Amino acid sequence: MLRSNTEKLVRKNMARFVDNELIPRAKEIDETGEFPMEMFREMAKMGVFGTRYPKNKGGSGGNTTLFCINCEEIARGLMSLGAITAMQCLMGTNFLFHFGTEEMRKEFFLPAMEGEKVACFCLTEPEAGSDLGNVSTLATRTDDGYLLNGMKTWVTNGPVADFFTVLMQTDPAKKFRGLNFFFVPKDTKGFSYSKPFDLLGTRTTPISEISFTNCHIPLEYRLGDEGRGLSNLMTILAEIRTMTAALAIGLQRAALDDSIQYAHERAQFGRTISKYQLIQAKIANMAVDLEASNLLTYKAAHMIDKKMEALKEASMAKYFATEAACRAGDQITRIFGAYAYSMEYSAQRYYRDNRFLLYGGGTHEILQPNIARWVGL
């Protein structure tokens, strides 16, 4: 799927880092359950965080395809770091870049590109996940800004973030047309966060609740025109789903590579298990899933780079690639047998981490009806 020398070079450089620096430490990082700040700053040094943004604005001058290549390779090494990188590159900084003032970009966006500040994006509430029309976190207009009240949950990077992009309701009677994004620095009076959730997978990606109690922010901290929150979200939704598919490809590749290596090494009944057809069938299915995921994902990425409407293609890629990652996580545990039940082997981490991919960017219970409508139902 590589179509340019730049894409090949970006993949080569990131793959070298993942192979030499990340994979040898992935088990250790995962077991600490702590935010991998050292690796986070390495990503910044490599210019990864600015991939989607122009060079003259503090970015690296890349595009969605290069962003997805980076996400894929990092997730191949450790899904947690892939998720953190994706948050910093896309959701956590996008609206600040496009709608923040020059002063806000200088104080927050540029340090985020340099790995000095951690970004965060907040949509979900206890009663509003897929149903964004039910968002109840309220931003009330005052003479000089807004007063924020309410709570968000399942906030990636919540306990460690320096600033937050938060979807809030300004007029409950307007439902979707009352939604807006707001910028909230962590030191805003009345802002707080819970202790990190105890997670099944992606254990070094801290997730928590955050709450707002009469948090006052200035008018310029509204990101975008009044009532345009949902439409602004739609401008990056295809990119979010394509990026999630790229993360899924990374996990599939890791599971497939480890499965092939193990099948060549593990001997039973006088020959390696790679000689048995049932093992071959599992690996063949994983390989086909991986190839299909690649084709769907990078087709969507290239469409986005060409400014084409790609929400259908991105949704298909997200749906297929993440389901394929779950299948890969299951198949590797069957190939490894009892050894997959040991924390010594990476198979258990792939099995745990793949669940993370199912929820962000739209659950499959939302995506499937949408895809059905797009194709004519």
DSSP secondary structure string for all residues of 83-140: HHHHHHHTHHHHHHHHHS-HHHIIIIIHHHHTTSS-EEEE--BTTBSS-GGG---EEE
Overall fold of domain 5-113 = Butyryl-Coa Dehydrogenase, subunit A; domain 1 (1.10.540)
What pLDDT is attached to residue 175? 87
The residue extents of the domains of the chain are: 5-113, 119-227, 230-374
Domains 5-113 and 119-227 share a fold: no
Q: How many CB atoms lie within 10 A of CB 205?
A: 24
Cβ neighbours of residue 230 closer than 8 Å, sequence gap 6 or more:
132, 176, 177, 179
Overall fold of domain 230-374 = Butyryl-CoA Dehydrogenase, subunit A; domain 3 (1.20.140)
Q: What is the mean pLDDT of residues 75-83?
A: 96
DSSP secondary structure string for all residues of 214-229: EEEEEGGGEESSTT-H
Q: How far apart are CA 86 and CA 98, in angstroms?
A: 17
What pLDDT is attached to residue 3? 72
At residue 2 the predicted structure's pLDDT band, cuts being 50, 70 and 90, is low
What does pTM read for this prediction? 0.94
What pLDDT is attached to residue 133? 80
Reported as a single tens digit per residue, the pLDDT across 33-60 is 999 999 999 999 999 999 999 999 999 9
Q: Give which of 344, 348, 343, 323 is closest to 333, Cα–Cα.
A: 348
For residues 38, 154, 124 and 79, what is the CA-based torsion angle, rounded to 10 degrees? Answer: 50
Mean pLDDT score of the chain:
94
CATH number for the domain formed by residue range(s) 119-227:
2.40.110.10
Q: What is the mean pLDDT of residues 351-367?
A: 91
The token pair at 294 is 């690649």
Find out whether 151 and 209 touch, Cβ atoms under 8 Å: yes
Find out whether 32 and 26 touch, Cβ atoms under 8 Å: no
What pLDDT is attached to residue 222? 96
Helix (H, G, I), strand (E, B) or coil at 181: strand
Q: Give which of 245, 227, 199 is closest to 361, Cα–Cα.
A: 245
At residue 173 the predicted structure's pLDDT band, cuts being 50, 70 and 90, is confident
What pLDDT is attached to residue 130? 77
Q: Which amino acid is at 225?
A: D
Reported as a single tens digit per residue, the pLDDT across 254-294 is 999 999 999 999 999 999 999 999 999 999 999 999 999 99
